[in-house]
Amino acid sequence: MRVSSNRRGGRAVAVTIVALIASLGIGSASAQADPFDLTLEYGRAEFGGLRNVDLSNTSDPYTLSGTLTGDSVNVPTGGVNFPQRQITSPVSATIDLAANQPVTGTYTAATGAMSLNFNLKATLNSALTGTCTIDPIVFTATTSASDPFFGTPFTSGLSGPGGIVGNWASLPAATGGPGSNCGVLATASGAGGIWLAHQIATPPTRPYVPPTAASLALALDAAKSKLKPGKTVKLESEVSNSGESEAAGVEVCLKTPKGLKAQGDKCASVGDIPGGGSATASFKVKASKKAKGKYSIKATASGFSLADASDAVKVKVKGKSKGKRGKG
């Protein structure tokens, strides 16, 4: 029947259109690749018996330049820039590190956690040994590692402080060309590891502990506890941050009862308060001419993603306001 024939034809056309759309990439939701640029100006390595090999150089740092797609890191071999280092201990030599393969891994911006897979070749040249090569050196360096040093998450982003640590159980024996004396590097083939960091000059001696969260406290004081109707009292507030993290966007606001009125703004911004720091804000409150009795004035401090902190003071309005006297 023609009906069934048309259906088959319709399916064929539909399949062709779907295939065409797929080939053109229309409607696909591929993740955006962002730059991944990491500077590692500080470093320390242990190659078996060769301990405390200093790889630091702030003027010519190690760098990794690649892409970050979601949490996935990819650095081509050409993006691995490890300039030559001159070391003096435990031997006087130059050491060159080069990438055999692209560096891959993950970086999670929300936590600063990083894990990178390396496959390197080390070339050491000294008067004692000649030119010797250790290849390959395969390891995974992470911010959570603790051997032989401690890693540090990049909690402030790639431009902030952080460090990765990798280790290995053993390495291939060092090899060299004619005239080399690589046998003296036999101890370098033992267990070891490497620490590479940004803005951290010395390997941490203890595990990374996240700073405690910001926590606000507020104290409110009045310059005087008694005032007359129509008069003004000055209030002083102090906001303190007992946490180790910064308290961002802190603001103090007053709430006055009927009979009292803030002179000027009821809210004052004190900005960001560092861990362990404090800031002050001043206010003026005026009593109406008909005010009488005891009043409670409340202040509240708030910040970005922080629990509010409050305090209150009591003032007493007593007496008569000084109005204009009529002619007797």
Supply the pLDDT for residue 90.
66
In angstroms, the CA 55 to CA 95 distance is 9
pLDDT for 2 equals: 39
SS3 for 185?
A: helix
pTM: 0.64
Cα separation, 168 vs 288, in Å, equals: 77
In sign, the C-alpha dihedral spanning 224, 225, 230, 236 is positive
Q: What is the secondary structure of 98-130 as a DSSP string? A: EESS-EEEEEETTTTEEEEEEEEEEEEEETTTE
Task: Give the pLDDT of residue 272.
Answer: 95
Under 8 Å CB-to-CB from 141, ≥6 apart: which residues? 115, 116, 118, 151, 164, 165, 166, 194, 196
- Give the pLDDT score at 245: 85
CATH architecture for residues 216-317: Sandwich (2.60)
Residues in the chain, how many? 328
Q: Where are the alpha helices (DSSP H) in the chain?
A: 2-24
Q: How much is the pLDDT for 50?
A: 82
Q: What is the distance between the alpha carbons of residues 225 and 296, in angstroms, rounded to a whole number?
A: 11
- Max distance between CA atoms of the chain, in angstroms, equals 122
CA distance 198 to 209: 17
User: Bridge partners of 281?
Assistant: 237
Local mean pLDDT, 10-residue blocks, the chain (328 residues): 44 49 49 93 90 93 98 98 88 92 97 97 92 95 94 96 96 89 84 96 80 92 94 96 92 96 95 94 95 95 94 92 54
Domain boundaries, the chain: 33-198, 216-317
